Amino acid sequence: MSAQIILNGEPENMVKTEAAVIRLDNVHKTYDLGEVQVHALRGVSLEIHASEFVAVMGASGSGKSTLMNILGCLDRPTRGHYYLDGMEVSQLSKVELARIRNRKLGFVFQQFNLLSRTSALENVELPTIYAGIRPEERERRAKDALARVGLADRAHHYPSQLSGGQQQRVAIARALVNHPAILLADEPTGNLDSRTAVEIMDILQRLNEEGSLTVVLVTHEQDIAQFAKRALEFRDGKLRRDEAISKRLLAREVLPTLPSLEEDQAEENMDAR
């Protein structure tokens, strides 16, 4: 299949001919609450290609998380089609969806969702167990993933011994450990101070550039969206805007302009006590 997309007719991203890693075709999602039906997505069509970095924006209740749940194979559309890597996944069983999720997708959430009595290394290893990877290989992969987020030296720390930013980096390592094609992040910086948020964006930008990971990130903050390459805006369950980020920020350039890490971390550690 050769997919074509034209974004707002802007010259720099006129036509993309590669097959999309994500393609939604008129996707609807209705939550049936008995007496009421909530029409959370109302006919969403879009394509996302390999190595894109997409920010999903919109007010609370506009359908962002519903979209992410569908993209992440955590939920199925009520109507319409979802093609992941060219394969129609809208009608797969829960077991099949779980397999795809484990192999192709990595997830990062606002609440880091780490197991508290488990070391960073063991947290990162967890998805490799479900993927049936051999024990020797698991630890190697988990260490490798921790190194990619700059936490090689924190492998044996527990979440309570790590700052918020470090915990989110462990969560990113966990999302990377099965070598997914797509990283889905729902408000990953929502619980972090602004410098730490930019550090997380730095990691996501590096993974996107160096590892050619496709990133789809939900944020309601314009400042954070500026680090993406493309912004989608949802309103009332519909895609209202889809455009390239014109003045894209590079986190590694922004970081030196922000207050130092030490000051921030000292504060964070104080808060954690």
**5-17: buried (b, 16+ CB within 10 Å) or exposed (e) per residue?**
beeeeeeebeebe
> Quick one: 75 or 139, whose CB is closer to ligand ADP?
75
Given Mg ion, ligand ADP, none, residue 6, with its beta carbon under 5 to 8 Å by kind, binds none
Q: How many angstroms separate the CA atoms of 92 and 70, rounded?
A: 12
Q: What are the φ/ψ torsions at residue 39 (nearest 5 degrees)?
A: -90, 85
Secondary structure of 49-61 in the HEC alphabet? Answer: CCCCEEEEEECCC
Q: Taking CB under 6 A as the rule, which mask of x and - marks residues 56-85 in contact with ligand ADP?
A: --x-xxxxxxx-------------------
Given Mg ion, ligand ADP, none, residue 31, with its beta carbon under 5 to 8 Å by kind, binds ligand ADP
* Residue reference for tokens 């192709």: 104
Q: How many angstroms separate the CA atoms of 4 and 47, rounded?
A: 9
| Shortest separation between residue 132's beta carbon and ligand ADP, angstroms | 31
> Quick one: 82 or 119, whose CB is closer to ligand ADP?
82
DSSP string, 235-252: ETTEEEEEEE-TT---HH
| Shortest separation between residue 129's beta carbon and ligand ADP, angstroms | 28
| Shortest separation between residue 76's beta carbon and ligand ADP, angstroms | 13
Q: Based on the number of CB atoms within 10 Å of its own CB, is 271 exposed (0-12), middle (13-18) or buried (19 or more)?
A: exposed
| Shortest separation between residue 78's beta carbon and ligand ADP, angstroms | 12
Number of residues that bind ligand ADP (CB under 6 A): 12
Q: Is 189 in the site for ligand ADP (CB under 6 A)?
A: no
Tell me the β-bridge partners of 114: none
Given ligand ADP, Mg ion, none, residue 121, with its beta carbon under 5 to 8 Å by kind, binds none
* Residue reference for tokens 């036509």: 15
Q: Is 65 in the site for Mg ion (CB under 5 A)?
A: yes
Stated length of the chain:
273
Figure out which of the listed residues 14, 18, 26, 38 binds ligand ADP, where binding follows CB under 6 A: 38
Figure out which of the listed residues 14, 18, 31, 160 binds ligand ADP, where binding follows CB under 6 A: 31
Identify the CA nearest to 104 among candidates 72, 65, 126: 72
Given ligand ADP, Mg ion, none, residue 58, with its beta carbon under 5 to 8 Å by kind, binds ligand ADP
> Quick one: 66 or 205, whose CB is closer to ligand ADP?
66
Contacts to ligand ADP by CB under 6 A: 31, 33, 38, 40, 58, 60-66
List of residues contacting Mg ion (CB under 5 A): 64-65
